[in-house]
């Protein structure tokens, strides 16, 4: 079983890049299941129903969100769809689903989305406790447990990886938009990488226009962020292969396309 993880898709330019490269890598690598973070896909903040439809049409099985979940009102038209998940550690009663269980090659795959609490500016519940609670509830029912941790702090993500080692089959980070070089397989058969990176414009400050970003830092004034229009683009992703017999993670490979 091969799972492809696509790093935070930024703007229309990022969606376009996914359309260009996904069919090829999916075929070449015999990908079975695809998860993509799309919380920045609509002009850098949020997602729209049209983008959601485009991504699903490309064969993406699960779309994850993060701190920009509510960036576009249009999300309320798709928030209850089973293949779109938002952080599970929002307060109880919030719209949408924090995890989903999906069928693939006769295996049941659970995908859980969590948001960090360090430097995230989101009033969320404790992601460690929520992860534990969900895994306890579903573990006897599923074959593979995948956790996306949308978080800023490297330490919080690494701590989560040790906390879930032996409980989840794959833990990976999103949100910083920079791919990290620390991918590994643990002795307990869990794959981990601190951040899978982003999909979008090359000349940018994590996807955003360079001049607008520098102006913010120079003046401390609230310059409006806009997605960089650099035509050179890349797609950061990672492929994780699981053993078909025991579902342990066998290999994790990070890629920049």
Write out the residues near Fe ion by the rule CB under 5 A: 66-67, 175
Indicate the residue among 142 and 160 with the shorter CB distance to Fe ion: 160
Indicate the residue among 63 and 142 with the shorter CB distance to Fe ion: 63
Residue 164 tokens, joined: 């879930």
| Nearest Cα residue to 111 out of 142, 139, 147 | 147
Tokens 């550690």 appear where? 89
CB 3 within 8 A of CB 146: yes
Considering 68, 150, 175, 177, which one is annotated as catalytic? 68
Judged on CB neighbours under 10 Å (0-12, 13-18, 19+), 17 is: buried
Q: How far apart are CA 45 and CA 20, in angstroms?
A: 22
Q: How far is the CB of 8 from Fe ion (least distance, A)?
A: 6
Helices marked H in 29-140 — which ranges? 49-57, 127-138
Q: Give the gyration radius of the chain's Cα atoms.
A: 17
Q: How far is the CB of 177 from Fe ion (least distance, A)?
A: 8
Helix or strand (DSSP H, E) at 45: none
Indicate the residue among 86 and 175 with the shorter CB distance to Fe ion: 175
Q: Is 68 labeled as catalytic in the residue annotation?
A: yes
Q: How far is the CB of 151 from Fe ion (least distance, A)?
A: 9
Q: How far is the CB of 67 from Fe ion (least distance, A)?
A: 5
Indicate the residue among 2 and 175 with the shorter CB distance to Fe ion: 175
Q: Supply the residues annotated as catalytic.
A: 68
């Amino acid at each position: 079983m091969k799972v492809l993880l696509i790093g935070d898709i930024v703007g229309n330019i990022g969606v376009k890049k996914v359309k260009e490269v996904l069919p090829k890598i999916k075929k070449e690598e015999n990908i079975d299941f695809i998860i993509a973070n799309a919380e920045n896909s609509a002009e850098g903040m949020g997602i729209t129903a049209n983008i959601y439809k485009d991504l699903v049409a490309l064969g993406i099985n699960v779309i994850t969100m993060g701190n920009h979940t509510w960036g576009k009102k249009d999300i309320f038209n798709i928030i209850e769809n089973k293949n779109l998940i938002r952080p599970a550690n929002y307060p109880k009663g919030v719209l949408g689903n924090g995890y989903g269980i999906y069928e693939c090659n006769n295996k049941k795959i659970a995908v859980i989305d969590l948001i960090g609490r360090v430097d995230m500016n989101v009033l969320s519940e404790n992601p460690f406790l929520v992860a534990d609670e969900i895994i306890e509830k579903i573990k006897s029912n599923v074959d593979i447990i995948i956790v996306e941790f949308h978080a800023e702090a490297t330490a919080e993500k690494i701590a989560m990886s040790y906390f879930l080692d032996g409980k989840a089959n794959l833990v990976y980070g999103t949100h910083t938009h920079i791919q990290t070089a620390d991918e590994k397989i643990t002795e307990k058969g869990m794959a981990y990488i601190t951040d899978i990176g982003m999909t979008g414009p090359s000349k940018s400050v994590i996807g955003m226009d360079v001049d607008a970003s520098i102006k913010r830092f120079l003046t401390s004034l609230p310059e409006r962020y806009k997605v960089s229009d650099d035509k050179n683009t890349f797609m950061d992703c990672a492929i994780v292969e699981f053993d078909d017999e025991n579902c342990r993670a066998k290999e994790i490979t990070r890629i920049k396309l």
